[in-house]
Chains A and B, each alone.
Chain A
Amino acid sequence: MGQCMSIDFKNYDPGKGYDELISSKGNPRRVAQVLCRYFSKLNDAELTELKQAVDLAIKALGISFTVYSEGNNIDRSWPLDLIPRMISSKEWAKTDRGLKQRLQALNLFIDDLYHKQQIVKDGVFPREVLAGARNYRKQCEGVSPPFGVWAHICGTDLVRGGDGTQYVLEDNLRVPSGVSYMLENRHVMKRVFPELFADIDILPVDDYTTQLYEMLVAISPRQGDVPEVVVLTPGIYNSAYFEHSYLAQQMGAELVQGSDLVVDSDDCVYMRTIYGMKRVDVIYRRIDDDFLDPEEFRKDSALGVKGLMRAWRKGNVAIANAPGAGVADDKVVYAFVPDMIRYYLDEEPIIPNVPTYLCMRDDDRSYVLDHLAELVIKPANESGGYGLLIGPHATKKELKEFAALIKHDPRNYIAQPTLALSTVPTLVESGVAPRHVDLRPFTLQGKKSYTTTGGLSRVALPEGSLVVNSSQGGGSKDTWVVDVGDK
């Protein structure tokens, strides 16, 4: 997009759905009033200049991401839209509580699964779901990580439906990514819009890496000493490499690859330094369980460290997220999270799930098969928007294929109604138009819990599209949690 057209919020039509900034034609929501006034005053040239300033800052900062299918083109500039997504601090306080509640329940659940499996015995969580859980790791049974926490870092996908209700869409607790983009988006916006940050009370996001580091230090097996914390990356060809190096740098931790680490005969983990071997206490791993340790998982993994599981089970090293935590990152397990919250915490869920049909249940399955064209179908264990079917946008052939897939392996599929995701005004060729967004905040749990202020807002750029993944043409927005004084 070369020249930008100035923004006319008076004629911006949020349509029938819920818009995060504009409640109805010409009426910005309270959180967005100052912002809308600011943007309305800009002419074509000024807006173009700001857009270019954002693009340039992203290029200069080297904020990039990688797309798997592009061969040796390993870099793409990160797409950031000029107009932020805004949330009132009052609403956020509730979301914050809901996210912490959810992660606490999930951690109690994972710890229970690898010990007594009381929730299964009590009939709250079906045994057949556990039996089909692809990410359940026998190797983890009986292990007790510090504070009973397995999922230390969780990226939760939140969406808002047409009536304004916020739902949890997914819990990502294997190796969730995106937090560095949240931080860098803010960095860029502060560079380009310093005056807006002076006029609006935007809550800061910068403390994430400090909180992350403190959490990692807290789970170190050698308390008292300054622990050696490392970030384990698969390397520069991974789509999230930018984030791995960013987080390591911000925490002052070493960024290591599997080949830098070795498990010695004392079952401790060491890294190869210029002066010889040095003991490692905490590993923030950014590679999947499957690749973690060729001794116990995939034998062909060149990314992992031989003997790592041994060291971890002996309590000589902490791994975040713990191996096996992915068992709760499963879209069928997801459907039971509200029950877990009631079961373990004796509380009502603060943020509801999106209504979910489990294809393993006969009633649900026949409903799903009859209404495929209205639903979103998701495989239980995929991430990044791969392998899902959006019924209303699917061809007859695709519908048929998915019907066959579901019948073949019902445990592996869930279905949800197509939500009219909320929108945010977004720059397009012809000016500004509503585009669908989601939100991924990050929650930490160690000795205590922490949630980012806001999160990463992802936006589906093509008109009407609901797919927000950057690997599939999605963009992003800075997320401003704003104090407007409504306590």
Chain B
Amino acid sequence: MLSRVAENVYWMARYLERVEDTARLINSMTNLLLDMPRDVEIGWYELLNVVGAEALYNEHYPDKTDERTVMRFLISDTRNPGAIVTCINAARENARVSRDIVPNEVWEQANELFLYFTENSKSAISRRKRSEFMSGLIRLCQTMTGIMMGTLPHDDAYQFLRIGRNLERADMSSRIIDMAAAKLLSEEDDFNPAFATVRWISVLKSLNAFQAYRQQGFLGVNGVNVLDYLLHRRDFPRSMGHCLEEMERCFSAIHKSEVPRESLNSLLKDLQAVNTKKLKRSGLHKFIDQFQMGVGQLHTAIADTYFRNQ
């Protein structure tokens, strides 16, 4: 497999996952807002934090934090490299340059995603149709992933797709957990517990984990259990632990993976060492920071080994 094509496929999966995760995040935030008392300060601005777009946003909108401006920036502002529109375009371009190896249906689906966004994104800026729009996006992303998983031979390209998807997902899950914890771990004592529960539920929902979490039969929705679930739960596809283990499986299916595996193993070890019962807000934040740096190192190791190896 060509190095360039492996890189394209890897990025296609990353961008696609980013679109889906951002859509989930926006949806769960919009939902959450409806449940909160009006005087509780839940800023849309927080979302910018999660996706790491704060600095860029401030540059363009130094004194605006209203819902519409933030939404437009996250959804359809092409100046934002993390905006849904930018990621859809990038996913499609990467699909376009991988057309000789991805099945036709995947390319058709990438086009459909693009057309869906072009035709409907305006409606998502206001709250009324946003949820419907985001659900549509999520469904289209899942369809594309589903087609790839169901039609690609399990060759190297397939492994690079899965690596890209799980790396992006691990990163995004860690960001969502970080944001939630920033508010919740520090405020849990003096915060109205009903609202704390609602917020932890919202965190679970933004990772599509609420139903799965409840089925495990935990007594309640509280910080320790939720965090433990999202960090370590091996059988839940959006937990950080699961994403890392998926990548481990991919690396064992391709050759010459010693260097990236070293990076991955150190991430896994650090993750396993986290004890959520004893975790304080600052400790978690520090861990997540390190985790995200580790994800960055893993990406570099993959790129050095496979994409620019000559």
Complex interface: chain A residues within 8 A of B6 (CB): 274
A62, A271, A273: the one contacting B107 at CB < 8 Å is A62
A245, A274, A275: the one contacting B100 at CB < 8 Å is A245
Are A260 and B107 in contact, CB atoms less than 8 angstroms apart?
A: no
- In the assembled complex, the CB of B258 is this many whole angstroms from the nearest CB of chain A, namely 13
Residue from B2, B96, B104, B306 whose CB has the most chain A CB atoms within 10 Å: B2
B152 within 8 A of A: no
B194 within 8 A of A: no
Interface string of B58-88 (1 = CB under 8 A from A): 0000000000000000000000000000000
B93, B99, B108: the one contacting A245 at CB < 8 Å is B99
Complex interface: chain A residues within 8 A of B101 (CB): 249
Are A236 and B96 in contact, CB atoms less than 8 angstroms apart?
A: yes
Give the dominant DSSP class at A's interface. mixed
Are A236 and B93 in contact, CB atoms less than 8 angstroms apart?
A: yes
Are A260 and B4 in contact, CB atoms less than 8 angstroms apart?
A: yes
Interface string of A57-68 (1 = CB under 8 A from B): 001111000000
Interface size on A, as a range, is 20 to 34
- In the assembled complex, the CB of A259 is this many whole angstroms from the nearest CB of chain B, namely 7
Are B3 and A248 in contact, CB atoms less than 8 angstroms apart?
A: no
CA of A274 to CA of B101 in the docked complex: distance in angstroms?
15
Count residues of B near A (Cβ-Cβ below 8 Å): 27
Are B310 and A272 in contact, CB atoms less than 8 angstroms apart?
A: yes
Are B310 and A246 in contact, CB atoms less than 8 angstroms apart?
A: no
Are B108 and A62 in contact, CB atoms less than 8 angstroms apart?
A: yes
Are A59 and B115 in contact, CB atoms less than 8 angstroms apart?
A: yes
Are A254 and B111 in contact, CB atoms less than 8 angstroms apart?
A: no
From known contacts A62-B108, A274-B309, infer whether A259 and B256 are also in contact, taking CB-CB under 8 Å.
Answer: no
Interface string of B4-35 (1 = CB under 8 A from A): 11100000000000000000000000000000
Could you list 13 examples of A-B contacts with CB < 8 Å? A61-B111, A62-B107, A241-B96, A245-B97, A245-B100, A249-B101, A254-B100, A255-B5, A257-B4, A262-B310, A273-B3, A274-B1, A274-B307
Known: A61-B108, A245-B96. 13 other contacts (CB 8 A): A60-B111, A61-B111, A62-B107, A231-B100, A236-B97, A245-B99, A248-B100, A249-B100, A260-B4, A271-B2, A274-B156, A274-B307, A275-B255
Query: What are the 7 closest A-B residue pairs judged by CB atoms, nearest first?
Result: A248-B100, A245-B99, A255-B100, A274-B306, A249-B100, A62-B111, A272-B3
Interface residue ranges, B against A (CB under 8 Å): 1-6, 93, 96-97, 99-101, 104, 107-108, 110-112, 115, 156, 254-256, 306-307, 309-310
